[in-house]
Amino acid sequence: MMLQTQVDLSPFNTLSLPGRAALYRRITAPAQLAAPELGAGRRFILGGGSNLVLTGDFDGLLLHMAIPGKRLRGEDGEAIYIEAGAGENWHDFVQWTLDQGWPGLENLSLIPGTVGAAPIQNIGAYGLEVGECLHSLTAWDFAKQAVVSFDRDDCRFAYRDSRFKQEGWHLNGGIAITSVVFRLAKAWQPNCRYADVAQELAVRHIAAPTARDIATAVIAVRQRKLPDPAVTPNAGSFFHNPVVSALQADALKAAHPTLPCYPQPDGRVKLAAGWLIEQAGWKGKTLGPVGMYEKQALVLVNQGGATGDDVKRTMAAVQADVLQRFGVALTPEPIFL
Ligand code: EPU
């Protein structure tokens, strides 16, 4: 099998950061992963590159997942099961399910990236996380040199987290997800509790939305608030929304009454990182070529020509200011390579 060498990765990361992979292979079928030359040495599995900070050249082997395919796998009384290849574009896949008349994923419209990457950070938006709709997935385990499968519970999903991150496989390329099966309940209910989506539907005078209506509303909200990576390079939310103790949240709320707080099932409280960053003065502010977006302070943007070091510098400055002002530590969401 031919491995490419010294491949420019700037087109493959949505922050448009420069860097080259010493070795590179595009994967278009699961069986290709069993080739012996892919099993040894440093390895990284790349999907859409939309949750990635490239810190420079990568001296290992980069596997670019491009396995295609989407199909109805089956159904039972309660749900239908749809399988998609890891390399399918996430948004196109969601729109395809809606075109087929299979609602359930509409709230996750327009999220950048691929089907295979979606479970790794358990992508979520507008009141839905992908783990809620995931039935199982198939992967190649490089240590075992075998095909492995995970059902939903095996994936240990949490907020922007999964077993694939907990085990460090997203950093060491230990596992390559090859396909994902989604379970879409036949008893579909619109999920428009998220204020932005509810408001968008109200403006359109839609009282009983279809899944397509929700997709259209979500797309409109995202397009209004989030920069298009093709125009303004970015990696979506750059930090997790921090989860703090109820005690700390109460103290912060007393000092800052407008702070958005979301109580969690475990008693802790999730805070809006975008609000903290905006209050710390970073909304629309830039340090060198990297700043925080003027319409959504949680999104870090490359204004042009930035390197991984520029990203790290702005990230550290934002973290320091938020820590100093609110005593809250912000954790980056993307993977650093
Ligand atoms: N806010 C501000 N200033 C800002 C940005 C936000 O005050 O500059 C406030 C908003 O007014 C609102 C709150 O913060 O009260 C939450 O803002 P928003 O609804 O925009 O959502 P978010 O918490 O910033 C999260 C996800 C997004 C997801 C949206 C919608 C994380 C880290 N981010 O953002 O996910 O699209 O909710 O569900 O959980 C991503 O992960 O890349 C991503 C884009």
d(CA 248, CA 246): 6
Q: How far is the CA of 298 from the centre of ligand 1 (A)?
A: 7
Q: For 65, what's the count of Cα atoms within 13 Å in the CB-facing half-sphere?
A: 31
Ligand 1: which atom is nearest the Cα of residue 195?
Answer: 19
pLDDT, one tens digit for every residue, the chain (337 residues): 689 999 999 999 999 999 999 999 999 999 999 999 999 899 999 999 999 999 999 999 999 999 999 999 999 999 999 999 999 999 999 999 999 999 999 999 999 999 999 999 999 999 999 999 999 999 999 999 999 999 999 999 999 999 999 999 999 999 999 999 999 999 999 999 999 999 999 999 999 999 999 999 999 999 999 999 999 999 999 999 999 999 999 999 999 999 999 999 999 999 999 999 999 999 999 999 999 999 999 999 999 999 999 999 999 999 999 999 999 999 999 999 9
42 part of the active site = no
Strand partners, 148: 139
The residue whose CB lies within 8 Å of the most ligand 1 atoms, and thus the one to mutate among 159, 298, 335, is: 298
Nearest C-alpha neighbor of 298 from the set 327, 274, 328, 268? 274
333 part of the active site = yes
Ligand 1: which atom is nearest the Cα of residue 297?
Answer: 8
Tokens standing for 203?
């403006």
160 part of the active site = yes
d(CA 237, CA 213): 25
Q: Which residues make Cβ contacts (< 8 Å) with residue 332, sequence separation at least 6?
A: 53, 238, 239, 240, 315
Burial per residue of 32-46, b for 16 or more beta-carbon CB atoms within 10 angstroms, e otherwise: bbeeeebeeeebbbb
Q: Quick one: residue 101, left, alpha or beta (phi over 0 = left, psi -120 to 50 = alpha)? A: left
Alpha helices in 118-177 (DSSP H): 163-166, 169-172
Q: How far is the CA of 40 from the centre of ligand 1 (A)?
A: 40
Sheet holding 299-302, edge to edge: 234-237, 299-302, 290-292, 286-287
SS3 state of residue 336 = strand
For ligand 1, atom 5, name the residue with the nearest CA: 274
Q: How far is the CA of 273 from the centre of ligand 1 (A)?
A: 7
CA dihedral of residues 242, 123, 281, 295 (deg, nearest 10): -150
d(CA 48, CA 25): 14
10 Å Cβ neighbour count for 315?
21
The binding-site residues of ligand 1, defined as CB within 6 angstroms of any ligand atom, are 125-126, 196, 225, 236-237, 240-241, 260, 272, 274-275, 278, 283, 296-298, 333
Sheet holding 269-271, edge to edge: 243-244, 269-271, 261-263
Catalytic: which of 160, 179, 183, 200?
160
pLDDT the model gives residue 2: 85
Output DSSP code: residue 215.
H
d(CA 202, CA 217): 10
Q: How far is the CA of 166 from the centre of ligand 1 (A)?
A: 24
Task: Characterize the bridge pairing of strands 58-65 and 43-46.
Answer: parallel
Q: How far is the CA of 333 from the centre of ligand 1 (A)?
A: 13
Distance of CA 200 to the CA centre of its chain: 23
